[in-house]
Structure 1
Amino acid sequence: MGGTNRLQRRLYSWRHIDKDCIVIHGTVTGLQAQVNLILRLPGHQDVEVECVVDTGFAGALTLPPAMVTTPGLPYIIRINANLADDTNVMTSVYGATVVWHGVERNIAVLAMGRRPLVGTALLEDSNLSIDFYEGGSVIGNVLGLLFSLRRTG
């Protein structure tokens, strides 16, 4: 998915939203780390999306195709995506704005799969802590902020 990584880097833009939303909280359910993110839809209310954390996915986010086309996210391109089992599938890429660590981020979303996945492109520059047992906690912190708090605290 090398093309996806280049696309991700071009689409990222950050805008700070809320200093109180810098930590991402989630829960382990069925041995899957799950977190919620806010999908910002132009002209509509924000939507909270429950996502599985997938550290094997180098992109930012996947959403089932119906979740991408229903709110009318802007179509960008069709790409050949390489999956974990080394198969390749054609998938559509859409642009979306999400709120992550209290910051609005413009990202590329792959329309594929049955459930939303958060990939490592969103986890970049974060510290991810997962207590892997049913009901365990999932916590994501911004690395720069933790360093800053330690130095001044």
Structure 2
Amino acid sequence: MMQGFVNQNCEAIIQVAVGHASKRKQMVKALIDTGFTGFLSLPQSIIASLGLPWHFRDVGTLGDGSEVIFEMYKASVIWDGQDRVIDVAASEADPLIGMSLLYGFKVEIEAVEGGIVAIKALK
């Protein structure tokens, strides 16, 4: 099980260890975004500091219906105690955890400031 918290803006936050497969991982605080279908988004500055390898370009649709092109990178994350290789979208927004990373997990949120966010594998 993984745990996080609800911040003062009523956003569900968890920390995830992210890095290049052959390098040390860095802890990143990320918002859970159920409208984001990808795995993880990170600002370019974090992607560069981690030395993540570029993978491909992808077209994404934003909440307002507009389409943008995302630069996609490969990263290794520790998720539920397991090392996973995932795609990371470069975005200048706050880091986001998307539904592809949450797939197969139950998310419980105590929707009050300081509330607990719990993510458990569905088995």
Which TM bucket (shorter chain)? over 0.9
1:61 aligns with 2:40: yes
TM-score (structure 2 length as normaliser)? 0.94
Which residue of structure 2 aligns with residue 41 of structure 1?
A: 20
Give the number of equivalent residue pairs: 122
Pick from 40, 50, 54: which aligns with 2:29?
50
TM-score (structure 1 length as normaliser)? 0.76
Give the deviation of 1:41 after TM superposition: 2.9
> Is the contact between residue 41 and residue 47 of structure 1 (CA under 8 Å) also seen in structure 2?
no
1:107 aligns with 2:95: no
Q: Distance in 1 between matches of 2:59 and 2:101?
A: 20
Percent sequence identity over aligned pairs: 32
| Residue identity matched to 2:81 | G
- 1:32-62: per-residue Cα shift (whole Å, max 9, x none)? 0000111133453221110000011111000
Give the deviation of 1:141 after TM superposition: 0.3
Which residue of structure 1 aligns with residue 76 of structure 2?
A: 97
Q: What RMSD over aligned residues (CA atoms) do the two structures have, in Å?
A: 1.1
> Is the contact between residue 40 and residue 99 of structure 1 (CA under 8 Å) also seen in structure 2?
no
SS at match of 1:50: strand
Pick from 67, 72, 80: which aligns with 1:88?
67
Which residue of structure 2 aligns with residue 28 of structure 1?
A: 6
> Is the contact between residue 40 and residue 98 of structure 1 (CA under 8 Å) also seen in structure 2?
yes
SS at match of 2:77: strand
SS at match of 1:70: helix
1:78 aligns with 2:65: no
- 1:84-125: per-residue Cα shift (whole Å, max 9, x none)? 111111110000000000111110000013210000101111
- 1:69-88: per-residue Cα shift (whole Å, max 9, x none)? 22221101112211111111
Which residue of structure 2 aligns with residue 124 of structure 1?
A: 103
Question: Between Structure 1 and Structure 2, whose CA radius of gyration is higher?
Answer: 1
